[in-house]
Structure 1
Amino acid sequence: MAEEREVDGRTPRERFGDAVREHRELWPECRMTQSDLARRTRMSKSAISRIERAVPPIPSGLPALLDEIFGTDGTFKRLYDEIRADAFPVQYRQRMEAEPKAVAIAEWSPTVVPGLLQTAGYAHALFRAGAPRASDQELALKVGARLARQDVLRGSSPPDFSAIMCESVIRRNIGGRAVMRDQLASLLAAGAQHTNVLQVLPFTAETHGLVDGSMSILTGTDGATVVYTEGIKSGAIISESAAVRHLSRSYDVVTAAALSPEASARMIRELMEET
C-alpha cells in the first residue's frame, strides 16, 4: 500500500479526522457531539468516531456534506482529494491530482478496462491478482480508492470523456463470468452517457503508435494538455508540447481505426450475452 504523505507530522487522513472533530467541537450554536453529527450525516456514531481517529474508509459523499454542514467552502473536499491521491503510489499521484480538474479526458488501453470505468468486482480481481498476499482490508481500500476516482464522471459538470479499448480488453476473463458480465453491462451504461464516447479497437486493426502501453490525455480548464503513460510498475506525466502533440496524433489514428461507438456497443452487448 502507498504511504500517506505527512504535513506538520500528520497525514491527510489524520488532518481530515482532526478537522471533523475541531469543527464539530467548535460548532457555534453549541458543542456538537458525535451523535449529533451522525444524525446530520445519516451515519452511525461509530463511523464518525472512526473517521475522527483516521480509520478508513471515508464515504465519497461525506466531504461535500461536511462542507455544507460546517460552511467550510471546500475544505473537506480538498483534504479528501489529498487522501485519494495518497492512496496511489508516488508515480500515479500527479495524475490523481490532475484528473479531477480536467475538462477532457481521453483514454487508451490495450490490456484492461480503464480505472474510471471499472466495477468493484473487476477492480478487486485485478488487485487480488497483483497482490496475492494482501489482506481483505487492504484490497477493500484499494478498490475504494479506485472507485472514488470515478466521481469525476458523475458530477454536475463531468469532463468530455473518451475511451478506446483493444478488443482483447472486453474478451479477457477478469474475475470470472459474473464479474465480466457486470463489467460489460457497466461499459454499455457508461457509453450511453452523453458526455462519454466508448470505442473498441478490433483485432483486425493495423499496428499503431500506441501499441506498447496505455495512455491518458488530460486537458485542464486553462487548455493545457498533459499525457499520462503507464507500464506495469511505472507511470509518467508528459507535458512537453512536441511529445504531447505526437501522442495526441497517435490517439487520433487509433480513434479512426476503432469501431464506431454504436458498433462497439453492439460488440460489447454480444459478448455480454455470450458470457
Structure 2
Amino acid sequence: MTERRDVDEPVRSPREAFGEALRNARELRAAGRLSQSDLAKKARTSKSTISRIERGVPPIASNLPTVFDQIFETDGQFKRLYEEVVSRSFPALYRRRMSLEREAIAIWEWAPAVIPGLFQTAEYARTLFRADNPRASDDEISASVRARLARQELLRGDAPPNVRVVLCESVIRRRFATRDVMREQLAVLLGLAERPTTRLQVLPLDAEPHSLMEWPVTFLTASNHVTVVCVETYRTTGIIEESEHVRTAVRAYDGLTSEALSARDSAALVREQMETL
C-alpha cells in the first residue's frame, strides 16, 4: 500500500532531503552525536558548510557525499541522494538521460562540435554556458558548471563505464575560449584517454559524410546490455529505444570509428594542437 501524505505536508526537494539525512545521521549517530563542528573536522570542511548543507542551501561539494558515507557508514546513501540532487538540477527533458548515464556500463560519444560534457573542464564548460545564456548571473553560470562537473563522478568510481569517444577534428581545433582554457581542456582530454576504460579517436575533417554528422549522439548501454541512443538538438534531447533504429545508429558509429584515426594517432594530433596554442 502506498503511504499517504498529508496534503499540507510540504514536498521536500532533493537538496532538502540530503540536508535532513545529514542532520539525522549526525544527531542519531550510533557511536555518539556529532556537532556540526565535529563533523566539519572529520569531513575536512567548515562548520558553515555543514550548516548550509543541512539547511538545503547550495552547493554541495562533489567529494562530500562519499566522505559522509564513510563517516556514517551509510553504504552509499549520501551518494545516491547527491545523484538525485544533480539530476534535479537539469531540465526535466534531460533527467532520464542523466539517470541512464549513471547506470550505464558503456558510453559511446560522437561529438561534432564541442568536447562532451563528461570530459569538460570547469572553464571550458563556463565558456559554453556563458555563450548559451549571456544574461545569466555569475551564480547561475557557476551552478550550471557544478552540475556538469558532478556528472563526471561516474568516471572516477570503482567500476567506471567503458567509454568510447569520437571527436570531429574541428572540436580540437576550434578556439572559442582563451589559449589557456583550450590548452587545459586538451590536456585533460589526453589524460582521460590514457585510462584503460576510455578510447579516444579523432575523425579527420576530410572524412566521408555519415548519418550522424549533424548532432551530438550518445549511446548508453545498461547492465542488461540494452542500448539506447540519445540525440541532442537545440535545448532538447531525444532518446531512441526502438531496436531497429538503435542497430542502424550503432552501425553508423562503427563506421565512424573505422574512418577515424587510431587512438595513438588521435592522441598525437591532440598533443600537436596543444603545442600550437
Aligned to 2:239: 237
Aligned to 1:78: 80
1:107-186 equivalences under 5 Å are 107-186=109-188
8 Å CA contact 1:217–1:225 kept in 2: the answer is yes
8 Å CA contact 1:200–1:264 kept in 2: the answer is yes
Which residue identity is paired with 2:32? C
1:1-275 equivalences under 5 Å are 9-275=11-277
**Number of corresponding residues:** 269
Which residue identity is paired with 2:29? W
Aligned to 1:4: none
Which residue identity is paired with 1:99? E
1:159-214 Cα distance to aligned partner (Å, 9 max, x none): 11000011111111132111111111111111111111001111110100101201
Which residue identity is paired with 1:268? V
Deviation at 1:236, TM superposition (A): 1.3
Which residue identity is paired with 2:189? L
- Output the CA distance in 2 between the equivalents of 1:152 and 1:136: 26
- Output the CA distance in 2 between the equivalents of 1:240 and 1:64: 37
Which residue identity is paired with 1:27? R
- Output the CA distance in 1 between the equivalents of 2:176 and 2:118: 16
Which residue identity is paired with 1:128? R
Which residue identity is paired with 1:144? R
Which residue identity is paired with 2:147? A
TM-score for both structures, normalised by structure 2: 0.94
TM-score for both structures, normalised by structure 1: 0.95
8 Å CA contact 1:122–1:174 kept in 2: the answer is no
- Output the CA distance in 2 between the equivalents of 1:256 and 1:36: 56
1:235-255 Cα distance to aligned partner (Å, 9 max, x none): 011111111111111111111
Deviation at 1:30, TM superposition (A): 3.2
Deviation at 1:33, TM superposition (A): 0.9
- Output the CA distance in 2 between the equivalents of 1:153 and 1:162: 12
- Output the CA distance in 1 between the equivalents of 2:202 and 2:179: 20
- Output the CA distance in 2 between the equivalents of 1:59 and 1:31: 23
RMSD between aligned residues: 1.3
Deviation at 1:8, TM superposition (A): 5.5
- Output the CA distance in 2 between the equivalents of 1:157 and 1:14: 29
Where structure 1 has 5 or more consecutive residues not aligned to the other structure, the ranges are 1-6
Where structure 2 has 5 or more consecutive residues not aligned to the other structure, the ranges are 1-8
- Output the CA distance in 1 between the equivalents of 2:165 and 2:10: 40
